[in-house]
């Protein structure tokens, strides 16, 4: 019965989401950027296998500062590299950051939140102490410290963001598990003598999965924005096109009238972050069972 109710919730959520035109436009944009990231990954891996240096990473000073044209739709940068090719690779990096950091942060937040909410007592006290300690540290400085210890590059970004952004989800999951463990279906499972971990992960977790999905859509753009800041500061991605490093190099050329690199990169960051944020808000409204049409 509970499974049917959950399935009905998802069908009803999709029906509500389809009625929201802004949400559907944002979903289309997210799909578009996802396809760009996949295409960028295919291009990157093909050059890696062939051992050839890709054109977007090969300086050609004779083509420097070319404005948008049929040959280069988004122009070229100060080294004569195609801005569109580099922007697509920056999209690939952004999606890697958003996905890998989520794969690090979400399991930590879900696991600790479930344990704290279900068992309570000293387990809850330890988890609350851990996430309170992490939350009390300056976020960006903590990420920079981890990234510097691990090393510059994507690995440092992954661990820096992933190990510091699980606190909010942990709090949400803890509160939801505390609420759900008082429900009749959980008490029935306890009366049948089911193992506590089975109750948590087979019964409670599927009923709070929507919170995890919503959190992913909201933390994804936050992780991308953090990566852009770190790459802008020179701590992030090395020797690969990144939106942050592109913005850092483009700002020095604005006074020369070279506007296209900064314009297209900031537009891409803006659209991706806005799309995920609005889609996350729409998902939260669609999955809220208290809302009615």
Least confident range from 4-13, 24-33, 100-109: namely 4-13
pLDDT confidence band for 288 (50 / 70 / 90): low
Domain boundaries, the chain: 2-57+78-286
Q: Is pLDDT above 60 for 237?
A: yes
**Who wins on pLDDT, 271 or 16?**
271
Instruction: Tell me the helix, strand and coil percentages in the chain, rounded to 5.
Output: 75, 0, 20
The pLDDT of residue 93 is: 92
Compute the residue count for the chain: 293
CB 161 within 8 A of CB 229: no
256: left (phi over 0), alpha (psi -120 to 50) or beta: alpha
The confidence band for 1, taking pLDDT boundaries of 50, 70 and 90, is: very low
* Mean pLDDT for the chain overall: 85
Distance CA 15, CA 169 (A): 26
Burial of 163 (0-12, 13-18, 19+ CB in 10 A): middle
Segment 189-195 shows an average pLDDT of 85
pLDDT of 5: 52
> Is residue 292 predicted with pLDDT exceeding 50?
no
Report the DSSP beta bridge partners of residue 82: 76
Segment of 27-31, 78-82, 133-137, 282-286 carrying the highest mean pLDDT: 27-31
Percentage of residues in the chain with pLDDT exceeding 70? 94
Q: How confident is the model at residue 96 (pLDDT cuts 50, 70, 90)?
A: very high
Q: What is the pLDDT of residue 99?
A: 92
Write the CATH number of the domain with boundaries 2-57+78-286. Answer: 1.10.3720.10
**What is the C-alpha to C-alpha distance for residues 66 and 219, in angstroms, rounded to an integer?**
36
Residues 274, 280, 285: CA angle, nearest 5 degrees: 130
**Entry pTM:** 0.85
Q: Closest by alpha carbon to 154, among 34, 245, 236?
A: 236
Q: Is pLDDT of 193 > 90?
A: no
């Amino acid at each position: 019965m509970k499974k049917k109710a959950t399935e009905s919730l998802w069908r009803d959520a999709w029906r509500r989401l389809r009625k929201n035109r802004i949400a559907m436009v944002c979903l289309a944009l997210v799909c578009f950027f996802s396809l760009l990231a996949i295409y960028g990954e295919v291009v990157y891996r093909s050059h890696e296998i062939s051992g050839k240096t890709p054109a977007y990473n090969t300086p050609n000073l004779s083509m420097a500062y070319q404005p948008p044209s049929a040959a280069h739709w988004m122009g070229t940068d100060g080294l004569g590299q195609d801005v569109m090719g580099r922007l697509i690779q920056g999209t690939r990096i952004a999606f890697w950051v958003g996905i890998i950091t989520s794969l690090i942060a979400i399991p930590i937040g879900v696991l600790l939140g479930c344990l704290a909410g279900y068992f309570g007592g000293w387990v809850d006290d330890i988890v609350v102490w851990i996430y309170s300690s992490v939350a009390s540290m300056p976020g960006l400085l903590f990420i920079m410290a981890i990234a510097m210890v691990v090393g510059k590059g994507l690995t440092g970004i992954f661990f820096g963001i992933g190990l510091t952004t699980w606190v909010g989800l942990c709090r949400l999951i803890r509160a939801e598990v505390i609420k759900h463990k008082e429900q009749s279906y959980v008490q029935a499972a306890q009366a049948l003598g089911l193992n506590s971990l089975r109750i948590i992960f087979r019964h409670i977790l599927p009923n709070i999965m929507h919170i995890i999905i919503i959190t992913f859509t909201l933390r994804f753009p936050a992780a991308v924005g953090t990566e852009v800041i770190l790459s802008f500061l020179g701590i992030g991605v090395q020797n690969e096109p990144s939106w942050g490093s592109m913005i850092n190099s483009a700002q020095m050329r604005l006074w020369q009238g070279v506007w296209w690199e900064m314009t297209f990169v900031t537009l891409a960051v803006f659209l991706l972050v806005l799309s995920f944020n609005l889609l996350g808000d729409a998902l939260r409204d669609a999955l809220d069972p208290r809302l009615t049409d």
